[in-house]
Amino acid sequence: MNLLLQGVAGTLILIGSLFLFLGALGVYRFPDVYNRLQAGTKSTTLGALSLILGVGLAEPAWLPKALVLMLFILLTNPVSSHAIGRASYKSGYPLWEGSIVDHCQEHDACKGGGEA
């Protein structure tokens, strides 16, 4: 039972580190602010959540604290990337030249930014 728990924890930690690496690679390679935000948020949030859950399972005394940390990261990471994306659109950062559609221009909350 203990060996199974350690095995699951180790696998979760490995998966978490893999997703964090992929997130960093995405931030490095994507051409545009908006694409980099996609890689930097989704991938790193999943990687961090998986890593903390793995650590919480490996040491069962830390499991409640690990769950609270996971909830906090799940709450704050998407909100902060939303704020960054909105701010860079409003500041007029140009979209990547291969972009096809800009849905935000249809809403009146998004006037004045993001020349494609």
Partner 1 sequence: MTRRVLAILLLLILAVALYQALARVPFGTDRMAVSRYYLDHGVQDLGGVNIVTSVVVLYRGFDTLGEVTVLFLAATGLGALLHGLALHDEKRRRTKTPPSLIMRTATRILFPLILLLGAYVFVHGHLTPGGGFPGGVVVALAYLLGFLAHDHWRVNHRAVRWIEGLAGMTYVIIGLLGLYLAGSFLANFLPPGTPGRLFSAGIIPLIYITIGFKVGSEMTGLLSEMKEITE
Please tell me whether residue 42 binds partner 1 under the rule CB under 8 A.
no
For residue 96, state whether it binds partner 1 (rule: CB under 8 A). no
Closest distance to partner 1 from the beta carbon of 62 (Å)? 14
Contact 93, 33 (CB under 8 A): yes
Which of 21, 76, 96, 105 is close enough to bind partner 1 by CB under 8 A?
76
In sequence order, the 6+-apart residues with CB closer than 8 A to the CB of 85 are 33, 34, 37
| Backbone CA torsion sign across 67, 68, 71, 72 | negative
Binding-site ranges for partner 1 (CB under 8 A): 72, 75-76, 79, 82-83, 86, 90, 109, 112
